[in-house]
Amino acid sequence: MGIERKRGPVVAADSIIELAGGGIVLVERRNPPLGWAIPGGFIDYGESAEDAARREAKEETGLDVELTAQLYTYSHPARDPRGHTVTVVYVARARGLPVAADDAATAGIFTEATLPRPLAFDHVDVLRDYFMFKRSGRHPLKK
């Protein structure tokens, strides 16, 4: 017996990649909505969120990542101008330098003080939550 499918949000996975030398990796999007973003993308059918996060990180930055924590799941219906998207955001670590590929035009390394603008989607909120998590160890739900 199959599961009845109704219209619902699409699901994505993102990784805030911490580099061994310091800083986090962001990519400048090649496609709309334009701006800088946390590497990530849609989860393929039959793929876990964790596998999608690792795959998307590799595709967009060339980096092999190790997921170290799940930060939060962001689900506000207006977070993505293309439509209702739910994303599971992970914290990850990697070694090396990012190289933009796939739908990333540019990849860069940033700190909280040097974040680029504009940030795509709701990533200004996601990164605010991430830096709070790094300082306090508290997940966004426990604000």
In the predicted structure, residue 2 carries a pLDDT above the cut 70: no
DSSP sequence for 57-104: HHHHH----EEEEEEEEE--TTSSTTS-EEEEEEEEEE-S-----TTE
* Confidence band of 120 (pLDDT split at 50, 70, 90): very high
Q: Give the DSSP letter of residue 5.
A: P
| Beta-carbon contacts of residue 20 (< 8 Å; ≥ 6 apart) | 93, 94, 95
| Mean pLDDT over the full length of the chain | 94
pLDDT per residue as tens digits for the range 32-77: 999 999 999 999 999 999 999 999 999 999 999 999 999 999 999 9
* Confidence band of 3 (pLDDT split at 50, 70, 90): low
Q: Can you list the domains of the chain with their CATH numbers?
A: 10-136 (3.90.79.10)
